Amino acid sequence: MGVRINDPNDLKSINSNLVYLYKQSNIGTTQSKTNTTLSVASQPQVLVPGDVKDAYVRNDWRAIKNYENKANNDLQPLYNYIKNNGNASWVVVQDSYSSYFNMIWDNLGNFIYTTCASVNPNNNDPFHPNVPLVAPVYYGIFSKSTSICGIHAYNLGVTTMITELAASTILSFFICKLLKKGVNFLAEDLFTMFSEAATEAGLSFLFGAVSLAVTALCAVAVFAIVFIGIMVLFNFLNKRFQISVSVYNWDTSCNWQLRGQALSNAVNPGESGTNDLNLDIVKQVPAGWSPVYNNLSIPISLAQVLVRTTQGALNYGYVAYENKKTFTQGCSFSFQCTRNNDPNVGFTYAFQCPWTASNAHYIENGVQDANQFLDKARHNWLHTTGPLTMNVNGTLIHAFIDALKGGDEDGDDNYKVAIHINSPYPN
C-alpha cells in the first residue's frame, strides 16, 4: 500500500484541532509590480529528541546516517508529491487557535508546513527604510519516524499590507519551484522564483536583496532541499566533489557567525558572486527550556505535536561546496567563524579535496583573512578525519571529516565536514 497524502482524516490523526479548508491554487494577477525585499529571518534549526541530539553532539557518523536515511524515507514521498503537483500540493489548514496556514501531510504522520504569524512594521532594516512592513514566513518539515523537525524562515519586506495566509502562500509556491529546480539554481533565480510565486498567489511583488544578504539566502534555500543532509541532490552541474559543512553551535551564552570565505575551484549553490557568508548560528536554549517555543513561528496545533517528541535543537550553519572545474581538479576553501559579532574572537578553518590524494583540513585560533589562511593551510594540511581541536578564549572547537577518500569516478565523492562549537564531549 502506497503513502496516502493530504487525506482529511489523516490530518486529524496528527492533531484533532486541525481542520482541512481547501486546496491552494494559482490565482494570478495583472497588477503592476511593486519592489519588495527578501532576507533571512531565521537560520535553520532542527528540533530533535534527546537521543538524536546526543548522536549529533557526539558526532556519531553511523547513527547520524541512520537518522538521515529514516528521515529521507519519511519525506521523499512528500517532496515527490510537491514536484509532481506544484502549487495544488498545498492545503489551507486552520486550527482551533484561529491560525491559517499551508500544509502537506501523509497517513504516516509526516508533514510540511508554511506559516506567517503576523505582518509587522519594519523597524530593523537600515538597507530598506522605505519598505514599511515585514512578514516573517516559516517553512517547517517533520519526519515522524525520527521525530526530527527542521525549520527556517525568510523576511518578506512589503510595501502594502497583506494577510498572514497570503505571505505563507508565497513561501509555499516558492518551495514548489525550488524543489523542482533542486540545487541547480543561481542566486538571481531565488528572487525570480519568489516574484513568480507572489504573482501566482495574486500579489504583484518583485523581490530583490542587498548583496550582503545574497549568500545567506542561497545557503538557507539549500537547507529547504537538503534538510539535515538527507537528500544528496548536489550534482547540479554534474561535478565530481560535493562537500557539505555543518557548523554546530552548542554554546548556551553566545551566538556565532560564519563570515568571509575564500574559494579555490570551489563554488556554493547559487553562485552568489560574493564571499561574505553572513550566517548567524544562534546559541542553545538553556537546559529545561523547550526549543519549540524559542522564537519560532509554529502553529499551536503543530507545536503540540513537536513538544511531545523533541527535547533539544541543532543550531547550525550549513554551507555546500562543489568543484567549479571538473577535469582532473579538486577544490579547497576556507572561512572565518566569529563569536557574538566580535571580529577579533573566533577561528579560521580550511578544507582541501584534491583530485587523487586524500582529503585534509586545517584550523587555527583567531579570525584571519580567508585568502591568506587558505595559502597558509596549503603548507599545513592535516590528513585526518579529526577531530582537530582548538581553544578560542575558553571555548573548545572540534572539526571532523566523515572520510578522507572513497568516492568513485562517476561523481559520487560526497563528503561531510562537522565543526562543533563548545561541544560537551571531548571527541
Structure confidence by residue, pLDDT tens digits, 184-240 = 788 999 999 999 999 999 988 888 877 678 888 998 998 888 876 554 444 444 446
Looking at residue 56, its pLDDT comes to 93
Would the pLDDT of 115 be above 80?
yes
pLDDT band at 341 (very low <50, low <70, confident <90, very high): confident
Window from 11-20, 230-239, 349-358 with minimum mean pLDDT: 230-239
Window from 152-156, 233-237, 317-321, 327-331 with minimum mean pLDDT: 233-237
Looking at residue 176, its pLDDT comes to 95
Looking at residue 394, its pLDDT comes to 92
- Tell me the mean pLDDT in the region 238-263: 88
Give the DSSP H or E segment for 172.
Answer: helix 164-181
Window from 95-109, 113-127, 145-159 with minimum mean pLDDT: 113-127
- Tell me the mean pLDDT in the region 136-162: 93
- Tell me the mean pLDDT in the region 355-381: 95
Place of cell 573566533: 346
- Tell me the mean pLDDT in the region 369-375: 98
Nearest CA to 11 out of 107, 150, 88 is that of 107
- Tell me the mean pLDDT in the region 145-167: 92
- Tell me the mean pLDDT in the region 158-185: 91
- Tell me the mean pLDDT in the region 117-131: 77
Question: Higher-confidence residue: 411 or 72?
Answer: 72
Strongest mean pLDDT among 65-69, 199-203, 380-384, 414-418: 380-384
Looking at residue 223, its pLDDT comes to 86
* Nine cell digits for residue 235: 550534482
Would the pLDDT of 408 be above 50?
no
Backbone angles phi, psi at 235, to 5 degrees: 50, 30
Chain centroid offset of residue 301 CA: 23
Q: In angstroms, rounded to a whole number, what is the distance separating the alpha carbons of residues 285 and 287?
A: 7
Q: In angstroms, rounded to a whole number, what is the distance separating the alpha carbons of residues 91 and 172?
A: 10
pLDDT band at 414 (very low <50, low <70, confident <90, very high): confident
Looking at residue 98, its pLDDT comes to 73
Identify the bridge partners of residue 45 per DSSP, sorted by sequence position. Answer: 151, 315
- Tell me the mean pLDDT in the region 77-104: 93
Would the pLDDT of 175 be above 80?
yes
- The model carries a pTM of 0.91
Looking at residue 126, its pLDDT comes to 63
Write out pLDDT tens, residues 64-88.
989 988 998 999 999 999 999 999 9
Looking at residue 127, its pLDDT comes to 64
Break the chain into its structural domains and give their ranges: 8-232, 256-289+316-421
Q: Are 165 and 111 in contact (CB under 8 A)?
A: no
Looking at residue 102, its pLDDT comes to 97
**Phi-psi label, residue 271: left if phi above 0, alpha if psi -120 to 50, beta otherwise:** left
pLDDT band at 109 (very low <50, low <70, confident <90, very high): very high
Angle, CA 337 vertex, CA 332 and CA 342 arms, to 5°: 150
Tell me the residue length of the chain. 427
Looking at residue 405, its pLDDT comes to 84
Q: What percent of the chain has pLDDT over 70?
A: 89
Looking at residue 413, its pLDDT comes to 75
Where are any strands of DSSP class E within 126-281? 133-143, 148-158, 205-208, 241-249, 256-264, 266-267, 276-281
Considering the chain, what is the average pLDDT of its residues? 87
Angle, CA 66 vertex, CA 65 and CA 67 arms, to 5°: 90
pLDDT band at 334 (very low <50, low <70, confident <90, very high): very high
Q: In angstroms, rounded to a whole number, what is the distance separating the alpha carbons of residues 140 and 78?
A: 13
Looking at residue 294, its pLDDT comes to 63
